[in-house]
Every structure is written in structure tokens, then in C-alpha cells.
């Protein structure tokens, strides 16, 4: 297990790239973790373990004794929960010790959701007459059509996509495979990119990755983040737009349309989906029906 500072750096980088959190929020999380690590060091500890629950509770109590507000203590716990869940997801920790530790009772803000109109403007922003624009249009369309995490999007391989049947095979967190349907607009954008742009981007190179940059290398998460920010500005969207914004819009718009939570969870990869042939077939058919019926671009 790496030391405190190295773990914090990995986690904060994940928040920047994967979650797209604001710089001020990242600094606050970093300060919260630094205070917690100081608490652990004061107790003679130099590592993280699944048995840290008692230390987490003691730390929160010490903050209360220091007259820290309920909102600030809640933010501390949110930072610690995110940190420990990240370690569990990265398989650096077997269990999350923050389970069962309650937040102070305060009002919590709901994340701001992009409207269907704002998403439509964003998806229309790339210039598809250029190879990079055709690639970017396909990535944006696919992200909104499937609710993928940005890390899942940039790591897609050509064989993961079935444009004829209209689904993706995604390897998500914990090496769990899931099937995600995509609507006709995403399929058309993807086929246009594959037919007219990908080979031009590859030039003389080979690559198994679906979305490629220079020399056949996959587009990075940071690269896609810059692309998204550029198109959001060009679209005149005043809300903060991150890769997670499209994932959140995907789920919110399906839910608003009447889709059931269980189906949305399966598509997002929050539920454990069996990889057996029979179950995958049933899930694929059911999820395609849900997607076609309820997604704005299904």
C-alpha cells in the first residue's frame, strides 16, 4: 500500500479527470484528507486499513469538539467516503470503513442536470467534415447514449462495438462486464467515424482502440476533457460541463422519461451483471427496449 501522500495524489487526480470537480473543491478535499492523515499519524499509524472506522469516527468527533460546523464536518466525511471507495474500487482495500458512518444532518445540493436542449447543442457542436471532429462527435454522442464513464469510453476497443445490433460490451469497475444499448443517432455517428475518419487519423499506424489520437494511441481522459470543455463553451452552455455531466444527463433523462431504476443501474454499471450467455441475451433485449422507449435519442 502506497503512503498517505501518494494515495491522496491518486485520488485527487481521479476526481479531476474522472469526476471533473472544480479546483476549489479539489483543494478542499485535499485539505480534509491532510487533516485526517495528521490524525492517523498522531496515533502512530502510517497506513490505511479496512479497520479505520474507529479512527474516522474519532476524527469527526475531534472536528466537532473544535467547533467545526455540521456542513464542514459533512464535507470531511464526503471526502473520506470518496477516498476509501476509490481505494476499494482500485482494489487497494478490501472493505470500505466509512460504511455505517452517518453524515451530520444538513441539506445537500442536487447536481445540476443538462437539459435535453443543452445536450442537443453540445452534440451538434463538432465539425464532422474533419476527421477529429467526426471522432469527437461520435464520442460525445456515445457518452450520452450509453452513460459510460469517461475511462470506459476512451478504453473501448473496436471489437467491443456491435453497430448492427446496437450495443457495446463494456468492462467496468471490478472487471465486471456489462452490455449497454445505444440508439440510432449514436450508431450513425459511430459508423460515420469508422467509415470516413478513423483510418485518416491512424494514417499508417494500427490500433485496436476505437477512438484514436496520434500514432494510433487511444485518446486520453485528459484529452477528452479538453475537447468537451471546448464544445461546451462553443455551445453557449453556462452550466459546468464535465464528462460526468453527460453520464448524469443520460440517467436523469431516462428516469424522467419513465425508465425503471433497475434498468438504469444496469446500464450505468452500478449493479453486478452476470456474464453468462443466457443472462446477457436477456439483459441485452430488455435494455434495448428500455433505451429505445425512454432515451431522448433512443
Using one digit for the tens of pLDDT, what is the confidence trace for 51-92? 888 888 888 888 877 777 777 888 888 899 999 999 998 888
Neighbour tally for 110: CB within 10 Å: 6
What is the torsional sign of CA 74, 78, 81, 83?
Answer: negative
**Rounded distance between C-alpha atoms, residue 164 and residue 161, angstroms:** 9
- Residue 17 belongs to what H/E stretch? none
For every one of its 298 residues, what pLDDT tens digit does the chain have, with 9 covering 90 and above? 457 788 888 999 888 887 787 888 888 889 999 999 998 998 888 788 888 888 888 888 888 777 777 778 888 888 999 999 999 988 888 888 888 777 655 444 445 678 889 999 999 999 999 999 999 999 999 999 998 989 899 999 999 999 888 888 887 776 778 888 888 999 999 999 999 899 999 988 889 999 998 778 888 888 898 999 999 999 999 888 888 888 888 888 877 777 766 777 777 776 433 322 222 333 445 556 666 776 777 5
Give me the residue label for grid cell 491532510.
Answer: 34
Q: Which three cell numbers stand for residue 138?
A: 461520435
Using CA atoms, how far apart are residues 11 and 32, in angstroms rounded to an integer? Answer: 13
Active site residues per annotation: 149, 173, 244, 247, 270, 279
Q: Phi and psi dihedrals of 168, rounded to 5?
A: -115, 150
Q: For 134-188, where are the E strands, in sequence order?
A: 161-162, 167-171, 177-181
> What is this structure's pTM?
0.59
Instruction: State the Cα–Cα distance between residues 103 and 59, nearest whole angstrom.
Output: 13
Sketch out the chain's domains with CATH numbers. 4-89 (1.10.150.130), 116-294 (1.10.443.10)
CA dihedral (80, 13, 23, 121) in degrees, to 10, reads -110
Contact partners, residue 284, CB within 8 Å, separation at least 6: 165, 167, 179, 181
Amino acid at each position: 500500500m502506497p503512503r498517505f501522500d501518494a494515495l491522496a495524489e491518486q485520488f485527487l487526480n481521479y476526481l479531476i479527470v474522472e469526476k471533473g470537480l472544480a479546483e476549489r473543491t479539489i483543494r478542499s478535499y485535499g485539505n480534509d484528507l491532510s487533516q485526517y492523515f495528521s490524525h492517523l499519524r498522531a496515533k502512530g499509524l502510517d497506513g490505511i486499513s479496512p479497520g479505520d472506522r474507529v479512527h474516522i469516527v474519532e476524527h469527526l468527533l475531534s472536528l466537532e469538539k473544535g467547533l467545526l460546523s455540521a456542513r464542514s464536518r459533512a464535507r470531511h466525511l464526503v471526502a473520506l467516503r470518496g477516498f476509501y471507495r476509490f481505494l476499494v474500487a482500485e482494489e487497494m482495500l478490501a472493505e470500505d470503513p466509512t460504511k455505517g458512518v452517518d453524515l451530520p444532518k444538513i441539506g445537500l445540493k442536487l447536481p445540476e442536470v443538462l437539459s435535453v436542449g443543452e445536450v442537443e447543442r453540445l452534440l451538434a457542436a463538432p465539425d464532422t467534415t474533419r476527421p477529429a471532429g467526426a471522432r469527437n462527435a461520435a464520442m460525445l454522442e456515445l457518452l450520452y447514449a450509453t452513460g459510460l464513464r469517461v475511462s470506459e469510453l476512451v478504453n473501448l476497443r473496436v471489437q467491443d462495438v456491435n453497430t448492427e445490433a446496437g450495443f457495446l460490451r463494456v468492462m467496468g469497475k471490478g472487471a465486471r462486464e456489462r452490455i449497454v444499448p445505444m440508439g440510432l443517432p449514436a450508431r450513425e455517428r459511430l459508423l460515420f467515424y469508422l467509415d470516413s475518419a478513423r483510418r485518416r487519423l491512424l494514417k499508417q499506424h494500427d490500433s485496436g482502440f476505437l477512438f484514436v489520437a496520434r500514432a494510433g494511441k487511444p485518446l486520453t481522459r485528459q484529452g477528452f476533457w479538453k475537447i468537451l470543455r471546448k464544445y461546451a463553451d462553443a455551445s453557449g452552455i453556462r452550466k459546468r460541463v464535465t464528462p460526468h455531466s453527460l453520464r448524469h444527463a443520460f440517467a436523469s433523462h431516462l428516469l424522467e422519461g419513465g425508465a425503471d431504476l433497475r434498468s438504469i443501474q444496469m446500464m450505468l454499471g452500478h449493479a453486478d451483471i452476470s456474464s453468462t450467455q443466457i443472462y446477457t441475451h436477456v439483459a441485452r433485449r430488455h435494455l434495448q427496449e428500455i433505451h429505445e422507449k425512454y432515451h431522448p435519442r433512443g
